[in-house]
């Protein structure tokens, strides 16, 4: 891999002219496609990245004062039950045995998440058997007839009952969506996980862990192929006229932005982060602490030392990052699709436009307007390569 900054339009035009494939965006989707095309087919790939680093939102950095690895765009936890994906990613990194566990603060108390038997017992202040806990939740959920659900709040109450909803869902949802849950569609929260045992592991997947050397090292190895060139600080939409006709493009940027918002802007959420180095060895005792109360402005606090307890981090300093969620405005970095009914109508029109672009393959979270975990993005990229791109690159 070569990772370069453009030396003018002429130099970039020459690189693009020699490319068999152009990939827009260097997150896991884009880099997986690039690696597959180079390794399996021997094709020359140019990856265009508008940021000053590769890796998209999965990029990590070592905080210079403490040496603690910080996930620059929010916590990234790798997990999958897909054996093929697991075998593939381990070509580029080993994984630790980290298992993600989350806690939430509600009304001054700390509870394990997602809601499990321990959460329920602590919440009601007594020991309950699984059968008793199920009966209690069923009794509270009966307040709302599922046939008469009209919004997110109704849906949540019909699933877990009002007491658990008020304690753990309402305030957090208000902060996540910056909207009263009674004004949000019910499909946003189609299910709420409740475990009637004491399992507080956050993910249920077969495989889980964090890259031993960090995300930056993993991403750099994924891009480390002599036929792959990553060009940084270039916005494809500013230079797409330089891509020769007939050269396929894999586009992983925002779908609406590609078409100049011609059908209207899709709804996105964005995140803001506030990072601090504190003069203590441990701030919260865990990697992620959610805050369920609406009067606390942040949604959660990350303390990154806890992601890698095996590392020799300083004992007198720690790094914490407060995360805030809000609706993305023009110019903001889009993170998650909101996907209201109106958004889905707009999306349908963009998909028609995308289908009419014979040389462009839309992928990734932003390019398909879907929430994709890392393993899902990698699996989707492998599927696109196998089922669509390979034939295009070999047969034309």
What are the residue ranges of helices labelled H in 94-168? 117-124, 130-141, 152-160, 162-168
Residue 87 designated active-site: no
Q: What is the dihedral of CA 54, 55, 57, 63, to 10 degrees?
A: -80
* Element housing 255 (H / E): helix 255-258
- Which DSSP string do the residues of 286-343 spell out, in sequence order? SSEEEE--TTSS-SEEEEGGGG-TTS---SS-EEEEEEEEEEPPTTSPP-EE---HHH
Residue 187 designated active-site: no
Catalytic choice (15, 72, 170, 300): 300
Catalytic choice (305, 323, 336, 350): 323
Q: In sequence order, what E strands does 97-243 have? A: 102-106, 109-113, 207-209, 228-232
* Element housing 17 (H / E): helix 9-17
Residue 345 designated active-site: no
Residue 336 designated active-site: no
Residue 215 designated active-site: no
Catalytic choice (205, 349, 373, 392): 373
Report the C-alpha gap between 287 and 304 in whole angstroms: 6
Residue 138 designated active-site: no
Report the C-alpha gap between 304 and 103 in whole angstroms: 15
Catalytic choice (195, 313, 336, 369): 195
Catalytic choice (101, 201, 240, 269): 269
Report the largest interatomic distance among the alpha carbons of the chain, rounded to a whole angstrom.
72
Catalytic choice (145, 191, 295, 316): 191
Strands 300-303 and 318-327: antiparallel
Residue 191 designated active-site: yes
Residues annotated as catalytic (active site), given as ranges: 191, 195, 269, 300, 323, 371, 373
């Amino acid at each position: 891999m070569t990772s370069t900054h453009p030396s003018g339009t002429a130099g970039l035009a020459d690189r693009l002219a020699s490319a068999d494939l152009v990939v827009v965006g260097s997150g896991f989707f884009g880099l997986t496609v690039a690696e597959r095309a180079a390794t399996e087919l021997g094709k020359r790939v140019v990856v265009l990245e508008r940021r000053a680093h590769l890796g998209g939102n999965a990029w990590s950095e070592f905080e210079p004062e403490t040496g603690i690895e910080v996930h620059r765009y929010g916590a990234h936890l790798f997990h999958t039950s897909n054996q093929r994906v697991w075998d593939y990613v381990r070509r580029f990194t080993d994984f630790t045995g980290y298992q993600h566990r989350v806690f939430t603060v509600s009304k001054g108390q700390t509870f394990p998440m997602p809601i499990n038997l321990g959460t329920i017992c602590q919440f009601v202040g007594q020991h309950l058997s699984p059968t008793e806990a199920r009966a209690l939740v069923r009794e509270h959920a009966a307040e709302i007839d599922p046939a008469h659900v009209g919004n997110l709040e109704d849906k949540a109450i019909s699933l877990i009952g009002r007491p658990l909803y008020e304690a753990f869902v309402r305030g957090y949802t208000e902060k996540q969506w910056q909207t009263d849950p009674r004004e949000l569609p019910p499909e946003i929260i189609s299910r709420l996980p409740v475990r009637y045992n004491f399992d507080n592991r956050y993910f249920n997947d077969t495989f889980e862990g964090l890259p031993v050397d960090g995300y930056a090292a993993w991403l750099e190895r994924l891009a480390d192929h002599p036929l792959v060139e990553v060009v940084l600080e270039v916005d494809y939409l500013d230079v797409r006229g330089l891509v020769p006709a007939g050269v396929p493009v894999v586009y992983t940027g925002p779908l609406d932005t590609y078409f100049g918002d011609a059908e209207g802007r899709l709804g996105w959420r964005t995140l803001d982060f506030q990072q601090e180095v504190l003069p203590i060895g441990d701030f919260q005792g865990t990697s992620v602490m959610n805050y369920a109360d609406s009067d606390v402005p942040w949604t959660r606090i990350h303390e990154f030392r806890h992601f890698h307890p095996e590392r020799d981090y300083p004992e007198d300093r720690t790094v914490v990052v407060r995360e805030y969620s809000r609706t993305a405005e023009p110019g903001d970095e889009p993170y998650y699709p909101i996907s209201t009914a109106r958004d889905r109508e707009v999306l349908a029109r963009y998909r028609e436009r995308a289908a009419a672009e014979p040389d462009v393959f839309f992928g990734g979270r932003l390019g398909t307007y879907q929430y994709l975990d890392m393993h899902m993005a990698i699996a989707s990229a492998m599927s696109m390569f196998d089922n669509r791109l390979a034939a295009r690159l070999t047969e034309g």
